[in-house]
A = this chain, B = another copy of it.
Amino acid sequence: MNAPFPRTAGSNPGPALDHVDRQLDASLERLFALLRIPSISTQPDHAPDCRRAAEWLRDDLASLGFQASVRDTPGLPIVVAHDRSPGAAALNAPHVLFYGHYDVQPVDPIELWTRDPFDPILVDAPARDGQAADRWITARGASDDKGQVMTFLEALRAIRAADGSYPLRISVLLEGEEESGGANLRPFLDAHADELKADFALICDTDMLGDDVPAITTMLRGMVGEEITITCADRDLHSGLYGNAARNPLHLLVEILSSLRDAEGRVTLPGFYDGVSPLPATVKESWDRIGFSDAELLGPVGLSIPAGEPGFSALEQTWARPTYEINGITGGYGGEGFKTVLPGKASAKVSFRMVSGQDPETIRAAFRAHVQAHIPPDCSVAFRSHGGSTASSLPIEGPSLRAALAALTEEWGTEAAVVGSGGSIPVVRDLQESLGMDSLLIGFARADNRIHSPNEKYDLSSFHRGTRSWVRVLYALASI
């Protein structure tokens, strides 16, 4: 650290890795400060918290030498930061744009949390066979995505401390509407394409494969979110006095929702599978080599039988097959005891996960037509869109992918895998379409992190070795 002269960007990650190890406690303190901000983007009363999270990140990026700013949108703000140091522009190395999000999911059912979701804590993790003892960072956003974002920022901090500068040119983009289907990112990218364009993007919002197998994700499903509200009578009725004669919107809802999926798990919405191709043989072979069993995916959450179409492994069902899920139903009385109510209204939130070849708006239109056809003339239905995104496919070969795989393999001591993901990260497609950039999706989350659920956690090893991984990946990418 006591270099007598300004260094040029080094190619040896050793000093930065040492810094990561020595400064882990301080890194955790910064992460905890960010986790304490309840930046729930889908709930409008948390908008000031979202802005606070953006400002916190802007300040942290400024402390890392970036020109950082909080940029307004019609919705929640976006943080943009660039390394504008003279040396950066002169480097013969790629320019990368790191993307992450500072917003988090709602916390309900709050009663299932063992402590305040915004009061982060480090607890001992349950022992795992043949694994080193670990600890868990527990809080909403610990994994998705604040913990993952901070692995990158802490890696930058370590590199800057060790080398005084970065080995490649870096920009950062952190949005606040990833969890709320926000429509404001794409227009922002389009409007600032010149400023944001880089050689490729780095995204830290995905899982590893198994506990200690690092992975780069190259296939992501798209999503259509819809909410329907069916209205029958103009008020809640007594189910005894009116039941049978007055239409029950919950009857309509269960008829409609069950008519979209057959007993074997196949989606029956007309035209749903149009354009869906079989998995390319090379991809299927590489996934088969991974050897991740149904039991490994389902066992940790207490299940054993894949629920999707027969003939596909649980892995394929989630990574490569489209699906329809019911995300919530609300109607009638849900409290303690019983109420003989025949509700006037009932509603449901549903989503379709899509693969390449499916168009979100076509599927949304087919869904709405299907629902509408089930509504009797004296009842009505209202639709609300909760966003839509096309599936993404990224290159499964190339110098940046190879360099990153090698760096991850070195850090974890296990060969890094190329995988798919059932989730949707719409920004991947947006970056392709708006800025012509592919992304490297490198994440350190684990399948049992309970993201979107009570008691979300991020393993301390994910945070620590994730930070170390970024140090290695950045040095590796500087040399391609």
Q: Smallest distance from the beta carbon of A404 to chain B beta carbons, Å? A: 22
Interface of chain A residues 237 through 281 with chain B (CB within 8 A): 237-248, 250-251, 253-255, 257-259, 261, 263, 265
A121 at the interface (CB under 8 A from B): no
* Segment with Cβ contacts to B, from A89-97, A345-353, A430-438: A345-353
A254-B258, A332-B327 as given contacts; A180 in contact with B245, CB under 8 Å: no
Nearest-neighbor residue (CB-CB) of A257 within chain B: B254
For A342, the closest partner residue in chain B by CB is: B325
A399: Cβ under 8 A from any B Cβ: no
* Min CB–CB distance A358 → chain B (angstroms): 14
A106 B307 Cβ-Cβ under 8 A: no
Contact yes or no, B328 A243, CB < 8 A: no
Contact A236 B422 (CB under 8 A): no
Residues of B close to A378: CB separation below 8 A: 298, 302-305
Residues in chain B near residue A250, CB distance under 8 A = 257, 325-329
CB-based contact B326/A236 at 8 Å: no
- Whether A236 lies near B453 (C-beta < 8 A) is yes
Instruction: Sample 11 A-B pairs with CB under 8 A, ordered by A number.
Output: A108-B333, A227-B338, A240-B422, A243-B422, A245-B298, A245-B317, A246-B307, A247-B303, A248-B325, A254-B258, A338-B349
Q: Does A71 contact B (CB under 8 A)?
A: no
Q: Considering only CB atoms, which chain B residue lies closest to A321 in the complex? A: B244
Check A297 for interface membership: any CB of B closer than 8 A.
Answer: yes
Is the CB of A50 closer than 8 A to any CB of chain B? no
Q: B241–A338 contact, CB under 8 A?
A: no
B residues in contact with A42, CB < 8 Å: 335-339
Find chain B residues with CB under 8 A from A343 CB: 327-328
Question: For residue A345, which residue of chain B has the nearest CB?
Answer: B109
Q: Contacts A235-B301, A240-B421, A377-B305 known; A341 to B248 CB distance under 8 Å? A: no
* A317 cross-chain contacts in B, Cβ below 8 A: 244-245
Count the copies: 2
Cβ of A306 under 8 Å from chain B? yes
Question: Which residues of chain B come closer than 8 Å to A242, judged between CB atoms?
Answer: 297, 301, 318, 422
A257 to B249, CA, bound (A): 13
Known: A43-B335, A254-B326, A336-B44. A308 touches B244 (CB 8 A): yes
Residues of chain B contacted by A225 (CB below 8 angstroms): 338, 340
Cα–Cα, bound, A452→B246 (Å): 15
Interface footprint category on A? 35 or more
Is the pair A239, B325 in contact by a Cβ cutoff of 8 Å? yes
Check if B245 sits within 8 Å of A308, measured CB to CB.
yes
> CA A64 – CA B159 in complex, angstroms?
89
- Check if A323 is an interface residue, CB within 8 A of chain B: yes
Q: Pick the contact of A333 from B248, B309, B323, B327 — CB < 8 Å?
A: B327
Q: Which residue of B lies closest to A452 (CB)?
A: B238
- Return A331 CB to nearest CB of chain B, in Å: 5
Within A6-25, which residues are at the interface with B (CB < 8 Å)? none
The 10 closest A-B pairs by CB, nearest first: A42-B337, A328-B332, A240-B423, A234-B302, A244-B323, A338-B386, A244-B308, A330-B334, A245-B314, A250-B326
Contacts A233-B303, A303-B233, A452-B238 given: A329-B330 contact, CB under 8 Å?
yes
Contact B337 A180 (CB under 8 A): yes
- In the bound complex, CA of A236 to CA of B317 (Å): 18
CB distance from A64 to the nearest CB of B (A): 30
Q: Are A244 and B422 in contact (CB under 8 A)?
A: yes
Complex Cα–Cα for A338 and B308 (A): 23
Cβ of A105 under 8 Å from chain B: yes
**Nearest residue, chain B, Cβ from A42:** B337
Contacts of A248 in B (CB 8 A): 307, 325-326
Is the CB of A185 closer than 8 A to any CB of chain B? no
Residues of B within 8 A of A424 (CB): 240
Contacts A301-B234, A329-B346, A453-B236 given; does A422 touch B241 at CB 8 Å: yes
Q: Are B331 and A328 in contact (CB under 8 A)?
A: yes
A346 to B348, CA, bound (A): 13
**A454 on interface, CB distance cutoff 8 Å:** yes
List CB contacts (< 8 Å) of A427-480 with chain B: 447, 450-454
Complex CA gap A283/B301 in Å reads 57
A384-409 interface mask toward B, CB cutoff 8 Å, 1 = contact, 0 = none?
A: 00110000000000000000000000
**B-contacting residues, A123-148, CB 8 Å:** none
In the complex, residue of chain B having the shortest beta-carbon distance to the beta carbon of A304: B378
**Shortest Cβ gap from A94 to chain B (Å):** 29
The reply to whether B334 and A328 contact each other, CB–CB distance below 8 Å, is yes
